[in-house]
Amino acid sequence: MQTAHPSRPHAATDSTAPLAASLTVWHALVIDLPLRLAAEAMRFTGQRLQAQAEHLTALARCGSLEDAVTLQTTFVTKGVSDYRSEASSLSHEVAQTAFAKAA
């Protein structure tokens, strides 16, 4: 067992600081980040499924082919925009976490 030098009462604790810092980074990148991303992915999936259900209900009520094409175009355009925005948000979250822990 290592004893601390009288002038450095926390010498044993000081030697574990790098390990503690590494574990903090590991926890953030291997546990926290994936769980946050999974939660966000589930939230986004729920949002898109709700939009799909509303879209199908609206399509069932269409009175003409022209209305159906307009609804479909609007739905696809909004979906592409939502996916683009979500991909950007997730990429930003990953980059922000990785760079913050690397610093």
- 15-54 residue pLDDT tens: 787 777 777 778 878 888 899 999 999 999 999 999 999 9
pTM over 0.85: no
Domain contains 5: no
Measure the CA–CA gap between 68 and 75, rounded to whole angstroms: 10
Cα distances (Å, whole numbers) of residue 63 to 1, 12, 88, 90: 83, 77, 37, 39
Structural domain count of the chain: 1
Q: What is the CA radius of gyration of the chain?
A: 25
Measure the CA–CA gap between 60 and 56, rounded to whole angstroms: 6
Domain contains 87: yes
Provide the residue range defining the domain that includes 30: 17-102
Domain contains 35: yes
